[in-house]
Amino acid sequence: MSGVLAGTDGLLRCPWALSTPDYVAYHDTEWGRAVHGDDALYERLCLEAFQSGLSWITILRRREGFRKAFSDFGIAAVAAFDARDAERLLADEGIIRNRAKIEATLANAKVLAGWEPGELDTLIWSHVPEEPAPAPRTVTEVPAITPESTALAKALKKAGIRFVGPTTAYALMQACGLVNDHLADCTSRDPARSGAAAAGGARPPAPTGTA
């Protein structure tokens, strides 16, 4: 697969979106749209980390299970989890039961609980590219790592955030609208849906509170 493909409704979409109805909904209503708020971004950061080594559909189909297990990814709530919660999570069939990823999720919440409101949002959104990349015409033109994602991963690690590398950071940037990687002819390409506005890659103002 390379360029856009038409779905059963006739709309042109990125080819990966047509492999399952779950992907169609995610592609059309979420992927590439701006996400703000500390809790919301913490959730995306955690889910991207859990996705490492797996397909995104595996995570997407368990997202409600993750939200239930991790108190809707409220940073303050997860920061209060203890060893009993860790063991509970390891036995929860509704999530990915990977000890290293679970421990990183809990540890990251404890770090972020000490940050000022809006600080995670500000850090992540400060890595929007200064200039938007040309719209990719095929999936082969979509990068897996960029200088900005490398810088974001380094900034997060320096701040004490675990289980995030340049590839995970770029997936986060794609999912949360810091970049617009919908293919050029994709129906969802409209840059107004993305936080990485077309006008010179302008960075939207960060909010002052959590989601």
154-185, pLDDT tens digit by residue? 999 999 999 999 999 999 999 999 999 999 99
Residue from 23, 31, 42, 48 carrying the catalytic annotation: 48
* Residue 48 annotated in active site: yes
* Residue 56 annotated in active site: yes
Q: Are 168 and 150 in contact (CB under 8 A)?
A: no
Residue from 16, 26, 30, 119 carrying the catalytic annotation: 26
pLDDT in tens, 47-79: 999 999 899 999 999 999 999 999 999 999 999
Residue 2: pLDDT band (50, 70, 90) is low
Res. 127: pLDDT tops 50: yes
Contacts 24+ apart (CB under 8 A), 140-148: 140/2, 142/181, 143/170, 144/170, 145/170, 146/170, 146/173, 146/179, 148/173, 148/178, 148/179
Lowest mean pLDDT among 66-70, 113-117, 180-184, 203-207: 203-207
- Within 10 angstroms of residue 134's Cβ, the number of other Cβ atoms is 8
Q: What percent of the chain has pLDDT over 70?
A: 89
* Residue 43 annotated in active site: no
Look at the block and give the residue holding tokens 């809006």: 118
The stretch 130-149 carries a mean pLDDT of 94
Q: What percent of the chain has pLDDT over 90?
A: 84
Element (H, E) at 5: strand 5-6
